[in-house]
Amino acid sequence: MQKTLGSAVKIAFIGMGNMASAIMQGLLNSGVSADNITGTARTDSKRAYFSDTFGINMIADNKVAVATANIVVLCVKPIQMQAVIEDFSSVIQPNQLFISVAAGLEVASLQAWLGDVGIVRSMPNTPAQLGAGVAGLIGNDLITKQHKEWTDILFSSVGRSLWVNDERHMHTVTALAGSSPAYFFRFIESMVRYGVEDGLTEEESRFLAAHSMLGAARMATELTNISVEQLRINITSPKGSTEQALLSFEANGIEKMMSDALSACAKRSQEFADQLSAKDHD
């Protein structure tokens, strides 16, 4: 039986961007009452949209939202985070859980602003909008068993999650998950372009390429008793057409290309973290 947050748990979203919207809708779909969710937004139009469309409580005052919440999901831009936290810092309670979805902000920075409370840093990705996301998670030393359970339930409403033990691995998470949907979109783009150039329509080419990628992803995630390498081998007949395509990849250095791309992503993630950390301690 899937665990739920419980009717007494109140959740506040500070900022209502795309990721906050995805998580909020996932929670509603999983059975969380709209009465238990509060969101904050600066504009009247955004507050009206979320209130009218989803029935959640929408207000302008972050301090009021935080004061009544068990779980606070921080969804503002990293550059704005310190000022936003300072504005509501007087109502922070020691038993609250704060979950950040702000890319690059390290746990130490968040704790310096929030104080001694349970903090989880997350790195989600955009398929969360469809309930198919994956998020990397790391918490500080103050998260309780209940905090961790709440976090698992929250992210299970929009996909899957993975806890890491070393914060430096969050940069690898960014490369492998946070940014990777864009790599796959780029791959599909090239496949669609080839299909169109060879006479298929864009719709036909996208259908074939995207659904093939979806099917391959399902095999990689569901047939876990078979290695990914073996899944590839199983459809690669010697001297067949698939082999020729793969040989072309190898000739063009696919291993180095992927390693360079992932390293570049992780390096940039580290640079963002370093820049934000330096700003914290000026």
Average of per-residue pLDDT across 5-17: 91
Structural domain boundaries in the chain: 11-166, 178-265
Q: 170-197, pLDDT tens digit by residue?
A: 999 999 999 999 999 999 999 999 999 9
Q: How confident is the model at residue 282 (pLDDT cuts 50, 70, 90)?
A: very low
Please list, in sequence order, all residues whose beta carbon lies within 8 angstroms of the beta carbon of residue 91, skipping any fewer than 6 positions away: 63, 66, 67
> What pLDDT does residue 279 have?
59
Angle at the Cα of 87 from the Cα atoms of 118 and 153, rounded to 5 degrees? 35
Q: What is the pTM of this model?
A: 0.89
CA distances 235 to 144, 190, 212, 230, 240, Å, are 46, 21, 13, 9, 10
- The CATH superfamily holding the domain 178-265 is ProC C-terminal domain-like (1.10.3730.10)
Tell me the CATH number of domain 11-166, given options 3.40.50.300, 3.40.50.720, 3.40.30.10, 3.60.10.10.
Answer: 3.40.50.720
In DSSP terms, 133 is beta-bridged to 159
CA distance 154 to 72: 11
pLDDT at 76 over 80: yes
Q: 209-256, pLDDT tens digit by residue?
A: 999 999 999 999 999 999 999 999 999 999 999 999 999 999 999 999
> What pLDDT does residue 6 have?
76
Provide, rounded to the nearest whole percent, the portion of the chain with pLDDT above 90: 89
